[in-house]
A and B are shown apart, each in its own frame.
Chain A
Amino acid sequence: MKNSLIILTCLIAGILVGLLALVPRGVLELDPTLYALYALLFLVGVEIGANTRVWQVARRQRTKILLVPLAAVLGTFLGVGLCSMLVPGVGFRQSLAVGSGFGYYTLASVLIAEIGGKTLGVLALLSNIMREMATLLTAPLLARYFGRLAPIVSGGATSMDTTLPIITRSVGTDFAVISVVNGVVLTLLAPLLITAILR
């Protein structure tokens, strides 16, 4: 919980700094987020590599691991499909397409804007950013109340990179491999599902 609050504070501080244009554009064009992400992933990698328990868990699960991304897909479709009835102006198919981003907002928004129109693209961007942020903020709570797979499936495609650190913090480094596999599978599925659903 303390972690989530610090993260929320960082996020709000960042948004304010961005809104007030306190950072010169030139700096942002260098894409510091990308380098921060690289550094973060390298460090998470070191943790995984140095933790011998990680590989034991992965070896024990084998193909069962694939049930995790499957749960993420089925659950997302179920939830998003039901919610499409609550959202006026967005159809069932459009909702499924937005959900199929699984938090992978860069790709999902571009792809959906291309096939389904700009408005749907922005909706996909916002919805998938929110999925990532909500996972970052609630991962410890999800782990506590819905089990150790919960933050992983909630993170969706992001469980292999941006949400991986908070996931390993919440459920332990021994679940890192499951988290990465889940993210990789969903990252590959996202563009396939989006095009299949909207075409």
Chain B
Amino acid sequence: MQVLLFLAGGVFVGYLLRSRKNVLAVAERATTWSLYLLIFLLGISVGTNEAVVRALGRLGMQALVLSVGGIVGSVLVGCLVSRMFFDMRCHEK
């Protein structure tokens, strides 16, 4: 939950600076690059975790099936909800 403090701090700063046009553009660029950095670091933590690397083969398939199931299920129900309650289409364009 600590992470939410940083988010809230950013919202506050962004709100104060909202009249300056280039703030949004700079923040967007910086976000994209720190996203790449985060994913790279996430990869490192997977690669250095022996337990995860070793288990990848054995439990990997089971985990894959379950995660795909969870995602597909929630995406389909989410699609239903956006049609029924949010007046949005599931298919853009």
A: which residues have CB within 8 A of B? 6-7, 10-21, 23, 28, 32-33, 36-52, 61, 64, 67-68, 70-80, 82-84, 86-87, 89-90, 95, 98-99, 102, 119, 122-123, 125-131, 133-136, 142-150, 152-154, 156, 160-162, 165-166, 169, 180, 184, 187
B48 and A49 contacting across the interface, CB-CB below 8 Å: no
Count residues of B near A (Cβ-Cβ below 8 Å). 76
A73 to B81, CA, bound (A): 12
Contacts A45-B8, A125-B52, A184-B4: A23 and B75 contacting too (C-beta < 8 A)?
Answer: no
| B residues in contact with A16, CB < 8 Å | 43, 47
Say what secondary structure dominates the interface of chain A.
helix
Q: How many A-B residue pairs have CB under 8 A?
A: 301
A76 and B74 contacting across the interface, CB-CB below 8 Å: yes
Sample (23) of A-B pairs whose CB atoms are under 8 Å apart: A14-B41, A17-B47, A18-B46, A40-B31, A46-B11, A46-B14, A47-B14, A48-B7, A50-B23, A64-B85, A68-B78, A75-B73, A75-B75, A76-B70, A79-B68, A79-B69, A84-B66, A87-B62, A126-B56, A128-B67, A135-B71, A143-B92, A149-B86
